[in-house]
Chain A
Amino acid sequence: AQKVTQAQTEISVVEKEDVTLDCVYETRDTTYYLFWYKQPPSGELVFLIRRNSFDEQNEISGRYSWNFQKSTSSFNFTITASQVVDSAVYFCALSEWDDYKLSFGAGTTVTVRA
């Protein structure tokens, strides 16, 4: 069975600090996909990234970066030089190759204070 764990419930930082969100997953499949979604206070879910299990390269997109390590089953997300607009709930999710289901972690609420 697939499972995603986000151990950090809430993180509060001051603007311009870096913040790292942890995500640990479990799956028996060798082919799977990992996702991060952002949910701002307005409530919609915003897709941030998809990474397949065969691509362990780290990815950077602006102030966002992701560190995928299969050896520790982790897919961590770092926001560099955080801004108030980064305040949101962030979800990590996993989907196996031939499965309809997207399994979500419980989410981490990030609050960036000015």
Chain B
Amino acid sequence: AQSVTQLGSHVSVSEGALVLLRCNYSSSVPPYLFWYVQYPNQGLQLLLKYTSAATLVKGINGFEAEFKKSETSFHLTKPSAHMSDAAEYFCAVSDGFNKFYFGSGTKLNVKP
């Protein structure tokens, strides 16, 4: 079975500061891991995905995530936050072709 834990339901950073959103997963098989972003009253947009290729994955809007098997983590980072990054972020795990399991989400607030 797969599951995802996102630590911190709310994260607040200043504009220009580092963004770090945490995600830990559990999976009985090699996982596929994803980060999605959701803006208010919209669906989810894929930021990046890990599918057993490079462990450091680069996504859109300057985001990247590193798959660390030993830590069962897939934390999302961005070197410098922008006001437009304020949104809710969801980490998800899948075994590839079956169900997705989403974390509880982390709302990112960016202060001017």
Report if A and B associate in a common complex.
Answer: no
Residues of A whose CB lies within 8 Å of any CB of B are none
Residues of B whose CB lies within 8 Å of any CB of A are none
